[in-house]
Amino acid sequence: MAHDPDQPPRRPATLVAQAGRRPEWTGGIVNPPVWRASTILYDTVADLRAAGGRDTHHRLFYGRRGTPTQWSLADALTELEPGAEGTFLYPSGVAAIAAALMSVLAPGDELLCVDSAYDPTRNLANTLLKRFGITTRFYDPTIGAGIAELIGERTRAIMMESPGSLTFEVQDVPAIVAAAKARGVVTLLDNTWATPLLFPAIRHGVDLTILAATKYIVGHSDVMMGSVTAGPGHFARLQETSFQLGQVISPDDAWLGSRGLRTLALRLRQHGESALRIAQWFAEQPGVARVLHPALPSCPGHDLFRRDFLGASGLFGVVLEGDEDRSRWEPARAALIDGLRHFGIGYSWGGFESLALPIDPARYRTATRREDAGPMIRLQIGLEDPDDLIADLDAGLSRYRESLS
């Protein structure tokens, strides 16, 4: 159901219900069926040869180029980003980040990467990209228009992530995009926290917007997936690089991704509402030094969040009161988390269940320093009743204070 430009834009809940469901792919079935394929058969040698010479985008050619099941999900993600040219899907969020960066960078280039980037992004820059002759400079997430001073002759791309992993600084994406465009530099954004529903990145001028679809798109903690959606002029290179890297996701995973997508607007609304309520509750509790939630004034970039975002999702951080003596607070933090009844302890987020993690962001910084009062925890607020979660966290904070005293 491609959008008719003469119709008013569809609101998010309508869009996620309809996106990607082209009749030629669904055959009238509501959801695109699972088309599993490696070999595609041709009637004649001439047909086989003709297929190879054609643009294979949205044409059955060979399983690695996808089937309508993957195309439908990719197309849906493109529809969610007004102005986007196309989307490619990957078997994880990290694979998406790697392909996006490799599609724009070449030996001798410099990458500017935000200091609050997801750790595997940093690691990729510091190891594999370095090995291919690409250098990386990390920059302060609050740099804004000041990024212009860092752009040099060799700067080819700027990697952003907003809010930042673990520490939630909101970046001035429009200011960075403007500085980049003035110098012909490509911009990339890890938009996993907001998704296009809360931050339409292509409309804000970003060239390549990346999702760990593992998180909110899939939404049920049972599939790994990534996506890159390209703005005007950037899809062909992204697709070519991704084909060269042999990237493809299974039709079964794509089908689960499409199924998750249909409830994205509804889920995000509940994740956001519950998380904000719990963040506000935290801000008033004894023993809490600071709450890192973009919708609260205590979060760096809160004003930018209010200006640019259409809402908040369900992941935020809490800094507890502590002191220099890590050996004292480390067991207290563990007591808080270990005793929680409704929060799992594990990586990832964006699923229906709540999660709690101890985090230590200072060790991942090189361009900026973090001066936190004490230990930090990161919470993913799931779809459980927030009153149950608050009662659980309240008991957790009591354990923390007792363990410290």
Ligand X SMILES: *Cc1c(COP(=O)(O)O)cnc(C)c1O
Q: Does 118 bind ligand X (CB under 6 A)?
A: yes
Q: Which of 12, 32, 226, 322 binds ligand X (CB under 6 A)?
A: 226
Q: Which of 19, 77, 94, 201 binds ligand X (CB under 6 A)?
A: 94
164/172 Cα distance (integer angstroms):
12
Any catalytic annotation for residue 190? yes
Residues 341-370 interacting with ligand X (rule: CB under 6 A): 348
Side chain identity at residue 321, one-letter code: E
Which residue, among 372, 81, 24, has the nearest Cα to 231 in the 3D structure? 81
Q: Count of alpha carbons within 13 Å of 220, Cβ hemisphere only? A: 13
Q: How far is the CB of 385 from ligand X (least distance, A)?
A: 25
Q: Which of 79, 81, 110, 190 binds ligand X (CB under 6 A)?
A: 190
Q: Closer to ligand X by CB, 176 or 210: give it.
A: 210
352/310 Cα distance (integer angstroms):
21
Q: How far is the CB of 39 from ligand X (least distance, A)?
A: 29
Q: Which range of residues in 87-95, 106-114, 123-131, 361-369 is near ligand X by CB under 6 A? A: 87-95
Which residue, among 317, 378, 311, has the nearest Cα to 344 in the 3D structure? 378
Q: Which of 65, 75, 115, 118 is catalytic?
A: 118
User: Phi/psi of residue 337, each to 5°?
Assistant: -75, -45
261/56 Cα distance (integer angstroms):
25
What does 271-331 look like in DSSP terms, one character per residue?
HHHHHHHHHHHHHTSTTEEEEE-TTSTTSTTHHHHHHH-S---SEEEEEEP--S-HHHHHH
Q: Does 139 bind ligand X (CB under 6 A)?
A: no
Q: Which of 36, 49, 54, 64 is catalytic?
A: 64
Q: Does 69 bind ligand X (CB under 6 A)?
A: no
Q: Which of 212, 261, 295, 356 binds ligand X (CB under 6 A)?
A: 212
Q: How far is the CB of 120 from ligand X (least distance, A)?
A: 6
Q: Does 253 bind ligand X (CB under 6 A)?
A: no
32/10 Cα distance (integer angstroms):
21
Q: How far is the CB of 183 from ligand X (least distance, A)?
A: 26
Question: Rounded to an integer, what is the distance from CA 267 to the centroid of its chain?
Answer: 16
16/152 Cα distance (integer angstroms):
40
Q: Does 379 bind ligand X (CB under 6 A)?
A: no
Q: Which of 18, 26, 56, 92 binds ligand X (CB under 6 A)?
A: 92
Q: Are 379 and 343 within 8 A, CB to CB?
A: yes
User: What does DSSP say about strands 208-211 and 155-161: parallel, antiparallel, or unpaired?
Assistant: unpaired
Q: Which of 215, 262, 290, 378 is catalytic?
A: 215
Any catalytic annotation for residue 215? yes
Residues 22-51 interacting with ligand X (rule: CB under 6 A): none
Q: Closer to ligand X by CB, 8 or 246: give it.
A: 246
Q: Does 216 bind ligand X (CB under 6 A)?
A: no
Q: Closer to ligand X by CB, 77 or 404: give it.
A: 77
Contact residues for 199 (Cβ-Cβ < 8 A; gap 6+): 162, 173, 191, 308, 309, 310
Q: Does 142 bind ligand X (CB under 6 A)?
A: no
List residues binding ligand X (CB under 6 A): 92-94, 118, 161, 165, 190, 192, 212, 214, 224, 226, 348
The residues assigned a catalytic role are: 64, 118, 190, 215
